[in-house]
Chains A and B, each alone.
Chain A
Amino acid sequence: MRLFDPHVHMTSRTTDDYQAMAAAGIAAIVEPAFWVGQPRSHVGTFEDYFLSLLGWERFRSQQFGIRHYCTLALNPKEANNAALADGVLALLPRYLEKDGVVAVGEVGYDDQTPAEDRVFGAQLELARAHRLPVLIHTPHRDKKRGTERTLALLRETKFPPELALVDHNNEETLALVLDSGCWAGHSIYPATKMDEPRMVSLVQQFGAEKILINSAADWGVSDPLKVPKTAGAMRAAGITDAAIETICWKNPVRFFAQSGRLDLADGDAALTVDQRELWEGNSVLRGQAPRVDS
């Protein structure tokens, strides 16, 4: 079965990860722009980060046969630096027009401050102007309140719920999100957030409609194989292949296809892989024989 990881920060991962993901059936990924582990102090570093998501990382992924798309935004944590925030918001209109951008994201709340309100609202307007869906992060601290506040903002601004993917759900937030008409993402993590057995229970309770799962793998303790592992746990628990395919492929395709930029026809997941290609003076390969699919 083809699998889609709709939230994974590959910039922080190795080529071993790419190989393992491809071998486990992952055929497409979305890499959201996010916090890099420490605060940035210049707008220019955001611009170069956006360019790497649109360029080098996309290229690196495709060398392993995985289609790479990205979402661009100012993340909620750094929305609290007002000077930086204004600079990044000014940068976004031209970057949101580029080919591999399939949503505005990650936006949302972190500390749930007024500054985060302002930047979240401004980016919902950008999504509307560029006809893009939004990928919304929900806070780890005071999550339920933050999720309620997210859904309230979407309602107040009349943002179409079918264009919103609310991420990092748990047992306390999923029903709220589904009732709102938004799509619901779940980040499967080794220790925090959501795990495989709990995810199986949620699917048994709520079904597959509008449910997505992702690894949210990044520079912390995380696992880029959580989508295939969770698919395996669902199968072992007797969830049908049709439901698993809806969660792990069809739903992310349907959601991001609303951008009009997901050049991924159903049945067209396999990329022609040519690892001979080089980038910026660095081959991904270092000495081993390139894989070239005819």
Chain B
Amino acid sequence: MSSLETVLTSRLPEDAASWFRQALHKVRAKGEATDAFLIMWSGAGRRLGPTPLEAPTDDEKKLPFFPTGWGADEFGRLLLLQGALAARLPEAHAALVNELFVTGDLRERQAVLRALSHLPAPERFVVVGVEAVRNNAVSVIEAIACENPYPARHFPAEAFNQMVLKCLFCEVSLRRVQDLAPRVTPELRRMVEAYASERRAAGRSVPEDVALILT
């Protein structure tokens, strides 16, 4: 039987899989100290590695979710975080997710952002998602903006509009933004038209993707 846990462990070398099973067991234990969790969260990077997970088997296609395109470290961190939140009172969840983002290196931040919509009551973490759009490393922008249902579901209009403009500035294709069309508003059209106008006035090219907003 496939589970999200075996999606990961079946793709890892045995020593990494064994480390991960033990780490998951520990973070799921009630009363696990936050410091110990943070150390496992950080150490997961070098143990699981950034290699993207291989495509799902037929059996795995029956799972409610498959982490297509995620690195093994990112997916392992999602499972660790789900375990850590399940072991904690809901009042502690937002602070922990925020801490992981603020004190994370690049890949840790990416893992938090990809995880957001898979966490319980995800609307509680909107501050982290919005903040990620201000952090401008392209890989971090992509983690929140691309192939991620979170912004369209939970971002307020102002933050969603900023994310669309940030994608245009960073040359991240708007085709990768999930559920873009229902979030297009007159205000977003105005902002994108102003951006296109500014580019034309400066003699610069206008990304083709603006057509997704303006037409």
A binding-site residues for B, Cβ under 8 Å: 47, 51, 54-55, 58-59, 93-95, 97-100, 260-261, 276-282
| Contact A279:B46 (CB < 8 A) given known A97-B39, A98-B105, A99-B105 | no
Chain A residues in 8 Å Cβ range of B43: 97
List residues 122-173 of chain B with CB under 8 A from any CB of chain A: 134-139, 169-171
| Contact A260:B46 (CB < 8 A) given known A51-B103, A54-B105, A280-B136 | yes
| Contact A282:B105 (CB < 8 A) given known A93-B39, A97-B39, A276-B171 | no
Residue of B nearest to A277 (CB): B138
Q: Is the CB of A98 within 8 A of B42?
A: yes
Q: Is the interface of B mostly helix, strand, loop or mixed?
A: helix
Q: Is the CB of A277 within 8 A of B137?
A: yes
Within 8 Å of chain A (Cβ to Cβ): is B17?
Answer: no
For B, the interface residue count at a CB cutoff of 8 angstroms equals 21
Q: Is the CB of A278 within 8 A of B45?
A: no
Q: CA separation between A94 and B38, bound complex, in Å?
A: 6
Can you pick out 21 interface pairs between chain A and chain B where the beta carbons lie within 8 Å of each other? A55-B106, A55-B137, A58-B105, A59-B106, A93-B35, A94-B38, A94-B42, A94-B103, A97-B42, A99-B46, A99-B107, A100-B105, A277-B138, A277-B139, A278-B136, A278-B137, A278-B138, A279-B136, A280-B137, A281-B134, A281-B136
Q: Is the interface of A mostly helix, strand, loop or mixed?
A: loop
Chain B residues in 8 Å Cβ range of A47: 103
Q: Is the CB of B137 within 8 A of A279?
A: yes
Determine how close the nearest CB of chain A comes to the CB of B160; give it in whole angstroms: 18
Given contacts A94-B38, A98-B108, list 15 more A-B pairs with CB under 8 A: A51-B103, A55-B105, A55-B137, A94-B35, A97-B39, A98-B42, A98-B45, A99-B45, A99-B105, A260-B46, A276-B138, A278-B138, A278-B170, A280-B134, A280-B135
Chain B residues in 8 Å Cβ range of A261: 46
Residue of A nearest to B138 (CB): A277
Residue of A nearest to B169 (CB): A278
Determine how close the nearest CB of chain B comes to the CB of A98; give it in whole angstroms: 5
Residue of A nearest to B42 (CB): A97
Q: CA separation between A261 and B136, bound complex, in Å?
A: 26
| Number of residue pairs spanning A and B whose beta carbons lie under 8 angstroms apart | 54
Q: CA separation between A222 and B108, bound complex, in Å?
A: 34
Chain B residues in 8 Å Cβ range of A95: 42
Chain A residues in 8 Å Cβ range of B106: 55, 58-59
Chain B residues in 8 Å Cβ range of A55: 105-106, 137
Chain B residues in 8 Å Cβ range of A98: 42, 45, 105, 108
The 3 closest A-B pairs by CB, nearest first: A97-B42, A97-B43, A99-B45
Chain A residues in 8 Å Cβ range of B45: 98-99
Determine how close the nearest CB of chain B comes to the CB of A242; give it in whole angstroms: 32
Q: CA separation between A211 and B169, bound complex, in Å?
A: 47
List residues 15-69 of chain B with CB under 8 A from any CB of chain A: 35, 38-39, 42-43, 45-46
Chain A residues in 8 Å Cβ range of B171: 276
Residue of A nearest to B135 (CB): A280
Residue of A nearest to B137 (CB): A279
Q: CA separation between A55 and B169, bound complex, in Å?
A: 21
| Contact A59:B136 (CB < 8 A) given known A94-B35, A261-B46 | no
Chain B residues in 8 Å Cβ range of A277: 137-139
Q: CA separation between A99 and B170, bound complex, in Å?
A: 26
Residue of A nearest to B45 (CB): A99
Residue of B nearest to A59 (CB): B137
Most buried by A among B39, B46, B134, B135: B46
Chain B residues in 8 Å Cβ range of A51: 103, 105
Chain A residues in 8 Å Cβ range of B38: 94
Determine how close the nearest CB of chain A comes to the CB of B175; give it in whole angstroms: 18
Q: CA separation between A51 and B137, bound complex, in Å?
A: 14
Chain A residues in 8 Å Cβ range of B169: 278
Residue of B nearest to A50 (CB): B103
Determine how close the nearest CB of chain B comes to the CB of A258; give it in whole angstroms: 14
Chain A residues in 8 Å Cβ range of B135: 279-281
Interface string of B94-114 (1 = CB under 8 A from A): 000000000101111000000
Chain A residues in 8 Å Cβ range of B105: 51, 54-55, 58, 98-100
Residue of B nearest to A261 (CB): B46
Residue of A nearest to B170 (CB): A278
Chain A residues in 8 Å Cβ range of B46: 99, 260-261
Determine how close the nearest CB of chain B comes to the CB of A70; give it in whole angstroms: 10
Determine how close the nearest CB of chain B comes to the CB of A133; give it in whole angstroms: 15
Determine how close the nearest CB of chain B comes to the CB of A272; give it in whole angstroms: 13
Determine how close the nearest CB of chain A comes to the CB of B13; give it in whole angstroms: 14
